[in-house]
Structure 1
Protein backbone atom coordinates (compact mmCIF):
# COMPACT_ATOMS: atom_id res chain seq x y z
CA UNK A 1 0.00 0.00 0.00
CA UNK A 2 2.76 2.46 0.99
CA UNK A 3 4.57 1.69 -2.26
CA UNK A 4 1.47 2.58 -4.25
CA UNK A 5 0.67 5.76 -2.35
CA UNK A 6 4.20 7.17 -1.91
CA UNK A 7 4.68 8.29 -5.58
CA UNK A 8 1.43 10.25 -5.37
CA UNK A 9 2.48 11.89 -2.11
CA UNK A 10 5.87 12.85 -3.58
CA UNK A 11 4.18 14.35 -6.68
CA UNK A 12 1.89 16.39 -4.43
CA UNK A 13 4.62 17.84 -2.19
CA UNK A 14 7.39 18.24 -4.81
CA UNK A 15 7.89 21.81 -6.07
CA UNK A 16 6.79 22.49 -9.64
CA UNK A 17 9.54 22.20 -12.24
CA UNK A 18 11.39 19.47 -10.33
CA UNK A 19 13.91 17.67 -12.53
CA UNK A 20 12.95 14.09 -11.82
CA UNK A 21 15.94 12.70 -13.76
CA UNK A 22 18.41 14.65 -11.61
CA UNK A 23 16.51 13.68 -8.45
CA UNK A 24 16.67 10.05 -9.56
CA UNK A 25 20.45 10.26 -10.07
CA UNK A 26 20.97 11.82 -6.63
CA UNK A 27 18.85 9.13 -4.99
CA UNK A 28 20.86 6.44 -6.79
CA UNK A 29 24.11 7.92 -5.43
CA UNK A 30 22.65 7.87 -1.92
CA UNK A 31 21.39 4.33 -2.38
CA UNK A 32 24.79 3.18 -3.66
CA UNK A 33 26.52 4.86 -0.72
CA UNK A 34 24.17 3.21 1.76
CA UNK A 35 24.68 -0.16 0.04
CA UNK A 36 28.47 0.24 0.28
CA UNK A 37 28.21 1.05 3.97
CA UNK A 38 26.01 -2.01 4.49
CA UNK A 39 28.49 -4.23 2.65
CA UNK A 40 31.33 -2.88 4.80
CA UNK A 41 29.27 -3.57 7.91
CA UNK A 42 28.63 -7.15 6.83
CA UNK A 43 32.33 -7.63 5.97
CA UNK A 44 33.35 -6.27 9.37
CA UNK A 45 30.91 -8.58 11.12
CA UNK A 46 32.27 -11.58 9.19
CA UNK A 47 35.87 -10.69 10.08
CA UNK A 48 34.90 -10.31 13.74
CA UNK A 49 33.02 -13.63 13.68
CA UNK A 50 36.01 -15.40 12.08
CA UNK A 51 38.32 -14.01 14.76
CA UNK A 52 35.96 -15.11 17.53
CA UNK A 53 35.72 -18.59 16.01
CA UNK A 54 39.52 -18.80 15.83
CA UNK A 55 39.82 -17.75 19.48
CA UNK A 56 37.19 -20.29 20.51
CA UNK A 57 39.05 -23.09 18.70
CA UNK A 58 42.35 -22.03 20.27
CA UNK A 59 40.78 -21.98 23.72
CA UNK A 60 39.27 -25.43 23.18
CA UNK A 61 42.71 -26.75 22.22
CA UNK A 62 44.26 -25.18 25.35
CA UNK A 63 41.55 -26.69 27.55
CA UNK A 64 42.14 -30.12 26.01
CA UNK A 65 45.91 -29.83 26.52
CA UNK A 66 45.39 -28.69 30.12
CA UNK A 67 43.16 -31.72 30.73
CA UNK A 68 45.85 -34.05 29.37
CA UNK A 69 48.45 -32.48 31.64
CA UNK A 70 46.18 -32.65 34.67
CA UNK A 71 45.43 -36.32 33.93
CA UNK A 72 49.18 -36.95 33.83
CA UNK A 73 49.76 -35.12 37.09
CA UNK A 74 46.98 -37.13 38.72
CA UNK A 75 48.29 -40.43 37.32
CA UNK A 76 52.10 -40.41 37.06
CA UNK A 77 52.06 -43.69 35.13
CA UNK A 78 51.04 -41.54 32.15
CA UNK A 79 54.32 -39.57 32.12
CA UNK A 80 55.93 -42.01 29.64
CA UNK A 81 53.18 -41.11 27.15
CA UNK A 82 54.84 -37.71 26.71
CA UNK A 83 58.23 -36.98 25.18
CA UNK A 84 61.00 -37.77 27.67
CA UNK A 85 62.86 -34.95 29.38
CA UNK A 86 66.42 -34.41 28.26
CA UNK A 87 67.74 -34.69 31.80
CA UNK A 88 67.28 -37.34 34.43
CA UNK A 89 65.00 -36.35 37.29
CA UNK A 90 62.80 -37.76 40.02
CA UNK A 91 59.05 -38.14 39.57
CA UNK A 92 58.54 -35.24 41.97
CA UNK A 93 60.82 -33.00 39.88
CA UNK A 94 59.01 -34.12 36.71
CA UNK A 95 55.63 -33.25 38.19
CA UNK A 96 56.93 -29.80 39.15
CA UNK A 97 58.26 -29.25 35.65
CA UNK A 98 54.95 -30.19 34.08
CA UNK A 99 53.09 -27.85 36.43
CA UNK A 100 55.55 -25.01 35.78
CA UNK A 101 54.92 -25.60 32.08
CA UNK A 102 51.21 -24.92 32.68
CA UNK A 103 52.11 -21.60 34.29
CA UNK A 104 54.49 -20.59 31.49
CA UNK A 105 51.97 -21.66 28.85
CA UNK A 106 49.29 -19.49 30.43
CA UNK A 107 51.63 -16.49 30.48
CA UNK A 108 52.51 -17.13 26.85
CA UNK A 109 48.83 -17.22 25.98
CA UNK A 110 48.24 -13.89 27.73
CA UNK A 111 51.27 -12.43 25.95
CA UNK A 112 50.11 -13.80 22.59
CA UNK A 113 46.71 -12.18 23.11
CA UNK A 114 48.42 -8.86 24.02
CA UNK A 115 47.10 -9.01 27.57
CA UNK A 116 50.69 -8.91 28.84
CA UNK A 117 53.28 -6.56 27.37
CA UNK A 118 57.06 -7.05 27.32
CA UNK A 119 57.61 -5.20 30.60
CA UNK A 120 54.92 -7.16 32.46
CA UNK A 121 56.40 -10.40 31.14
CA UNK A 122 59.84 -9.41 32.48
CA UNK A 123 58.34 -8.64 35.88
CA UNK A 124 56.56 -12.02 36.04
CA UNK A 125 59.59 -14.02 34.98
CA UNK A 126 62.03 -12.09 37.15
CA UNK A 127 60.05 -13.22 40.16
CA UNK A 128 59.33 -16.67 38.70
CA UNK A 129 63.00 -17.49 38.12
CA UNK A 130 63.86 -16.95 41.77
CA UNK A 131 62.55 -20.52 42.20
CA UNK A 132 64.56 -23.63 41.40
CA UNK A 133 61.68 -25.47 39.68
CA UNK A 134 61.11 -22.52 37.33
CA UNK A 135 64.79 -22.41 36.38
CA UNK A 136 64.91 -26.18 35.85
CA UNK A 137 61.84 -26.01 33.62
CA UNK A 138 63.33 -23.27 31.44
CA UNK A 139 66.67 -25.12 31.20
CA UNK A 140 64.81 -28.18 29.92
CA UNK A 141 62.23 -26.50 27.66
CA UNK A 142 63.71 -23.29 26.26
CA UNK A 143 65.36 -24.79 23.17
CA UNK A 144 62.28 -26.82 22.25
CA UNK A 145 60.04 -23.75 22.68
CA UNK A 146 62.28 -21.66 20.44
CA UNK A 147 62.40 -24.40 17.79
CA UNK A 148 58.60 -24.78 17.87
CA UNK A 149 58.01 -21.04 17.39
CA UNK A 150 60.60 -20.93 14.61
CA UNK A 151 58.95 -23.88 12.86
CA UNK A 152 55.53 -22.24 13.14
CA UNK A 153 56.89 -18.87 12.03
CA UNK A 154 55.51 -17.19 15.13
CA UNK A 155 57.33 -13.89 15.60
CA UNK A 156 55.49 -13.14 18.86
CA UNK A 157 56.40 -16.59 20.20
CA UNK A 158 60.07 -16.00 19.37
CA UNK A 159 59.93 -12.62 21.08
CA UNK A 160 58.39 -14.32 24.13
CA UNK A 161 61.26 -16.81 24.29
CA UNK A 162 63.84 -14.02 23.93
CA UNK A 163 62.27 -12.02 26.77
CA UNK A 164 62.10 -15.08 29.00
CA UNK A 165 65.72 -15.95 28.12
CA UNK A 166 66.78 -12.45 29.20
CA UNK A 167 64.92 -12.78 32.53
CA UNK A 168 66.45 -16.24 32.99
CA UNK A 169 70.00 -14.97 32.34
CA UNK A 170 69.43 -12.09 34.78
CA UNK A 171 68.17 -14.50 37.46
CA UNK A 172 71.18 -16.80 37.02
CA UNK A 173 73.52 -13.80 37.37
CA UNK A 174 71.77 -12.72 40.58
CA UNK A 175 72.63 -15.95 42.35
CA UNK A 176 71.27 -19.33 43.33
CA UNK A 177 67.60 -20.20 43.14
CA UNK A 178 65.33 -20.93 46.08
CA UNK A 179 64.93 -24.72 46.37
CA UNK A 180 61.45 -26.21 46.94
CA UNK A 181 62.45 -27.23 50.47
CA UNK A 182 62.98 -23.55 51.39
CA UNK A 183 59.58 -22.29 50.28
CA UNK A 184 57.91 -22.92 53.62
CA UNK A 185 59.24 -23.06 57.13
CA UNK A 186 58.54 -26.11 59.23
CA UNK A 187 55.23 -25.75 61.14
CA UNK A 188 56.50 -27.32 64.35
Structure 2
Protein backbone atom coordinates (compact mmCIF):
# COMPACT_ATOMS: atom_id res chain seq x y z
CA UNK A 1 0.00 0.00 0.00
CA UNK A 2 2.86 2.37 0.79
CA UNK A 3 4.35 1.76 -2.65
CA UNK A 4 1.00 2.38 -4.31
CA UNK A 5 0.57 5.63 -2.38
CA UNK A 6 4.04 6.70 -3.44
CA UNK A 7 3.26 5.99 -7.09
CA UNK A 8 -0.01 7.90 -6.83
CA UNK A 9 1.85 10.90 -5.40
CA UNK A 10 4.33 10.63 -8.27
CA UNK A 11 1.49 10.66 -10.81
CA UNK A 12 -0.13 13.64 -9.10
CA UNK A 13 3.22 15.46 -9.16
CA UNK A 14 3.60 14.82 -12.88
CA UNK A 15 0.06 16.02 -13.52
CA UNK A 16 0.55 19.15 -11.44
CA UNK A 17 3.82 19.93 -13.23
CA UNK A 18 2.18 19.51 -16.63
CA UNK A 19 -0.77 21.75 -15.68
CA UNK A 20 1.58 24.37 -14.27
CA UNK A 21 3.59 24.29 -17.49
CA UNK A 22 0.44 24.75 -19.58
CA UNK A 23 -0.62 27.67 -17.41
CA UNK A 24 2.75 29.40 -17.71
CA UNK A 25 2.79 28.89 -21.46
CA UNK A 26 -0.74 30.29 -21.83
CA UNK A 27 0.01 33.35 -19.68
CA UNK A 28 3.36 34.22 -21.25
CA UNK A 29 1.99 36.31 -24.20
CA UNK A 30 -0.06 38.44 -21.81
CA UNK A 31 2.95 38.96 -19.55
CA UNK A 32 5.05 40.01 -22.53
CA UNK A 33 2.36 42.44 -23.63
CA UNK A 34 2.28 44.03 -20.19
CA UNK A 35 6.04 44.25 -19.83
CA UNK A 36 6.89 45.34 -23.38
CA UNK A 37 8.21 48.93 -23.61
CA UNK A 38 6.44 51.59 -25.67
CA UNK A 39 7.38 51.58 -29.34
CA UNK A 40 8.49 47.96 -29.49
CA UNK A 41 8.60 46.33 -32.92
CA UNK A 42 5.56 44.07 -32.66
CA UNK A 43 6.29 42.35 -35.96
CA UNK A 44 9.62 41.17 -34.57
CA UNK A 45 7.90 40.24 -31.34
CA UNK A 46 5.35 38.24 -33.34
CA UNK A 47 8.14 36.27 -35.02
CA UNK A 48 9.69 35.57 -31.64
CA UNK A 49 6.31 34.58 -30.26
CA UNK A 50 5.72 32.10 -33.07
CA UNK A 51 9.09 30.50 -32.44
CA UNK A 52 8.33 30.39 -28.73
CA UNK A 53 4.93 28.89 -29.48
CA UNK A 54 6.49 26.05 -31.45
CA UNK A 55 8.93 25.35 -28.64
CA UNK A 56 6.16 25.49 -26.07
CA UNK A 57 4.18 22.89 -28.00
CA UNK A 58 7.19 20.58 -27.99
CA UNK A 59 7.69 21.17 -24.27
CA UNK A 60 4.03 20.50 -23.56
CA UNK A 61 4.11 17.30 -25.62
CA UNK A 62 7.21 16.14 -23.75
CA UNK A 63 5.50 16.81 -20.41
CA UNK A 64 2.43 14.89 -21.53
CA UNK A 65 4.55 11.95 -22.71
CA UNK A 66 6.23 11.93 -19.30
CA UNK A 67 2.86 11.67 -17.56
CA UNK A 68 1.73 8.86 -19.88
CA UNK A 69 4.96 6.89 -19.35
CA UNK A 70 4.69 7.34 -15.60
CA UNK A 71 1.11 6.03 -15.57
CA UNK A 72 2.06 3.09 -17.81
CA UNK A 73 4.96 2.20 -15.51
CA UNK A 74 2.70 2.32 -12.47
CA UNK A 75 0.11 0.12 -14.19
CA UNK A 76 2.80 -2.49 -14.94
CA UNK A 77 4.10 -2.40 -11.37
CA UNK A 78 0.57 -2.81 -10.02
CA UNK A 79 0.01 -5.79 -12.31
CA UNK A 80 3.25 -7.41 -11.15
CA UNK A 81 2.19 -6.93 -7.53
CA UNK A 82 -1.20 -8.49 -8.24
CA UNK A 83 0.41 -11.49 -9.94
CA UNK A 84 2.83 -11.97 -7.03
CA UNK A 85 -0.07 -11.82 -4.55
CA UNK A 86 -1.88 -14.47 -6.59
CA UNK A 87 1.24 -16.65 -6.65
CA UNK A 88 1.63 -16.36 -2.89
CA UNK A 89 -1.98 -17.38 -2.30
CA UNK A 90 -1.59 -20.28 -4.75
CA UNK A 91 1.55 -21.52 -2.96
CA UNK A 92 -0.15 -21.35 0.43
CA UNK A 93 -3.21 -23.22 -0.81
CA UNK A 94 -1.08 -25.92 -2.42
CA UNK A 95 1.00 -26.30 0.75
CA UNK A 96 -2.19 -26.68 2.77
CA UNK A 97 -3.45 -29.34 0.36
CA UNK A 98 -0.21 -31.30 0.52
CA UNK A 99 -0.21 -31.19 4.31
CA UNK A 100 -3.23 -33.52 4.52
CA UNK A 101 -4.13 -36.15 1.87
CA UNK A 102 -7.84 -35.64 2.58
CA UNK A 103 -7.58 -32.09 1.23
CA UNK A 104 -6.85 -33.50 -2.23
CA UNK A 105 -10.58 -34.19 -2.49
CA UNK A 106 -11.29 -30.46 -2.22
CA UNK A 107 -9.86 -29.91 -5.72
CA UNK A 108 -11.39 -30.92 -9.03
CA UNK A 109 -11.00 -34.61 -9.90
CA UNK A 110 -8.15 -35.51 -12.27
CA UNK A 111 -8.93 -35.54 -15.97
CA UNK A 112 -7.19 -38.92 -16.21
CA UNK A 113 -7.16 -41.81 -13.69
CA UNK A 114 -4.15 -41.71 -11.36
CA UNK A 115 -2.99 -42.54 -7.86
CA UNK A 116 -3.25 -40.14 -4.97
CA UNK A 117 0.53 -39.79 -4.88
CA UNK A 118 0.66 -38.87 -8.58
CA UNK A 119 -2.06 -36.25 -8.03
CA UNK A 120 0.08 -34.71 -5.28
CA UNK A 121 3.01 -34.58 -7.68
CA UNK A 122 0.88 -32.89 -10.33
CA UNK A 123 -0.21 -30.23 -7.83
CA UNK A 124 3.43 -29.25 -7.42
CA UNK A 125 3.87 -29.39 -11.21
CA UNK A 126 0.96 -26.98 -11.50
CA UNK A 127 2.86 -24.50 -9.31
CA UNK A 128 5.87 -24.75 -11.61
CA UNK A 129 3.94 -24.34 -14.87
CA UNK A 130 1.76 -21.56 -13.42
CA UNK A 131 4.91 -19.67 -12.40
CA UNK A 132 6.21 -19.87 -15.96
CA UNK A 133 2.85 -18.75 -17.36
CA UNK A 134 2.88 -15.69 -15.08
CA UNK A 135 6.45 -14.82 -16.06
CA UNK A 136 5.58 -15.19 -19.73
CA UNK A 137 2.45 -13.02 -19.55
CA UNK A 138 4.52 -10.35 -17.78
CA UNK A 139 7.00 -10.43 -20.70
CA UNK A 140 9.85 -11.57 -18.45
CA UNK A 141 10.93 -13.93 -21.23
CA UNK A 142 9.92 -14.60 -24.84
CA UNK A 143 8.42 -17.57 -26.67
CA UNK A 144 11.84 -19.02 -27.52
CA UNK A 145 12.86 -19.18 -23.84
CA UNK A 146 9.45 -20.56 -22.85
CA UNK A 147 9.65 -23.29 -25.48
CA UNK A 148 13.10 -24.31 -24.26
CA UNK A 149 11.86 -24.51 -20.64
CA UNK A 150 8.80 -26.57 -21.49
CA UNK A 151 10.50 -28.95 -23.90
CA UNK A 152 13.04 -29.77 -21.20
CA UNK A 153 10.29 -30.07 -18.58
CA UNK A 154 8.21 -32.40 -20.73
CA UNK A 155 11.17 -34.77 -21.09
CA UNK A 156 10.34 -36.03 -17.61
CA UNK A 157 7.55 -38.40 -16.66
CA UNK A 158 5.91 -36.05 -14.14
CA UNK A 159 5.98 -32.99 -16.39
CA UNK A 160 4.54 -34.93 -19.30
CA UNK A 161 1.87 -36.50 -17.10
CA UNK A 162 0.94 -33.01 -15.88
CA UNK A 163 0.25 -31.60 -19.33
CA UNK A 164 -1.49 -34.79 -20.49
CA UNK A 165 -3.87 -34.37 -17.55
CA UNK A 166 -4.12 -30.58 -17.23
CA UNK A 167 -3.61 -29.38 -20.81
CA UNK A 168 -7.37 -29.57 -21.54
CA UNK A 169 -8.04 -27.49 -18.41
CA UNK A 170 -5.60 -24.82 -19.60
CA UNK A 171 -7.41 -24.75 -22.93
CA UNK A 172 -10.79 -24.27 -21.25
CA UNK A 173 -9.30 -21.58 -19.01
CA UNK A 174 -7.92 -19.51 -21.89
CA UNK A 175 -10.72 -19.97 -24.44
CA UNK A 176 -12.39 -16.70 -23.44
CA UNK A 177 -9.34 -15.03 -21.89
CA UNK A 178 -8.74 -11.61 -23.49
CA UNK A 179 -5.03 -11.86 -22.65
CA UNK A 180 -3.31 -12.93 -25.88
CA UNK A 181 -0.16 -13.82 -23.92
CA UNK A 182 -2.06 -16.51 -22.00
CA UNK A 183 -3.36 -18.01 -25.23
CA UNK A 184 0.17 -17.88 -26.64
CA UNK A 185 1.44 -19.68 -23.54
CA UNK A 186 -0.95 -22.59 -24.08
CA UNK A 187 -0.07 -22.73 -27.77
CA UNK A 188 3.67 -22.89 -27.01
CA UNK A 189 3.06 -25.53 -24.30
CA UNK A 190 1.08 -27.69 -26.73
CA UNK A 191 3.87 -27.56 -29.30
CA UNK A 192 6.56 -28.26 -26.71
CA UNK A 193 4.56 -31.22 -25.41
CA UNK A 194 4.06 -32.60 -28.93
CA UNK A 195 7.77 -32.22 -29.67
CA UNK A 196 8.70 -34.02 -26.44
CA UNK A 197 6.32 -36.89 -27.21
CA UNK A 198 7.72 -37.15 -30.74
CA UNK A 199 11.24 -37.51 -29.29
CA UNK A 200 10.25 -40.71 -27.51
CA UNK A 201 9.18 -41.99 -24.08
CA UNK A 202 9.70 -39.74 -21.07
CA UNK A 203 12.47 -40.18 -18.55
CA UNK A 204 10.89 -42.36 -15.82
CA UNK A 205 10.58 -40.73 -12.41
CA UNK A 206 12.50 -43.68 -10.92
CA UNK A 207 15.44 -42.86 -13.21
CA UNK A 208 15.72 -39.17 -12.30
CA UNK A 209 18.45 -39.83 -9.76
CA UNK A 210 21.09 -42.48 -9.35
CA UNK A 211 21.04 -44.46 -6.11
CA UNK A 212 23.67 -43.51 -3.54
CA UNK A 213 26.76 -45.71 -3.46
CA UNK A 214 26.65 -48.52 -0.92
CA UNK A 215 28.10 -47.70 2.46
CA UNK A 216 31.60 -48.98 3.02
CA UNK A 217 31.67 -51.33 6.01
CA UNK A 218 34.04 -50.29 8.75
CA UNK A 219 37.36 -52.11 8.86
CA UNK A 220 37.60 -54.74 11.52
CA UNK A 221 40.23 -54.03 14.17
Shorter-chain TM-score: what band?
A: 0.7 to 0.9
The corresponding residue for 1:109 is 134
Aligned equivalents of 2:76 and 2:66: distance in 1? 15
Alignment TM-score, normalising by the size of structure 1: 0.79
CA displacement, residues 65-110 of structure 1 (integer Å, 9 cap, x when unaligned): 1221122123332212211112232222111101111111111122
CA distance 1:31–1:175, shift in 2 (3 Å): closer
Does the alignment pair 1:55 with 2:80? yes
- Which runs of no fewer than 5 residues in structure 1 stay unpaired? 1-6
Shift of 1:33: 4.6
5 Å-filtered alignment, 1:99-178, equals: 99-178=124-203
The corresponding residue for 1:4 is none
The corresponding residue for 1:66 is 91
Alignment TM-score, normalising by the size of structure 2: 0.69
CA contact 2:154–2:202 (8 Å) conserved in 1: yes
Total equivalences in the alignment: 178
What do you get for the CA RMSD once the two structures are aligned? 2.7
CA displacement, residues 152-187 of structure 1 (integer Å, 9 cap, x when unaligned): 133222222222212212222222212211112222
Shift of 1:113: 2.0
Shift of 1:18: 4.4
CA distance 1:41–1:181, shift in 2 (3 Å): same
The corresponding residue for 2:24 is none
Aligned equivalents of 1:162 and 1:73: distance in 2? 30
Residue of structure 2 aligned with 1:40, choices 65, 72, 93: 65
- Which runs of no fewer than 5 residues in structure 2 stay unpaired? 1-31, 215-221
Range with greater deviation from structure 2 (137-146 or 79-88): 79-88
Shift of 1:27: 4.9
Shift of 1:30: 4.6
CA distance 1:154–1:33, shift in 2 (3 Å): closer
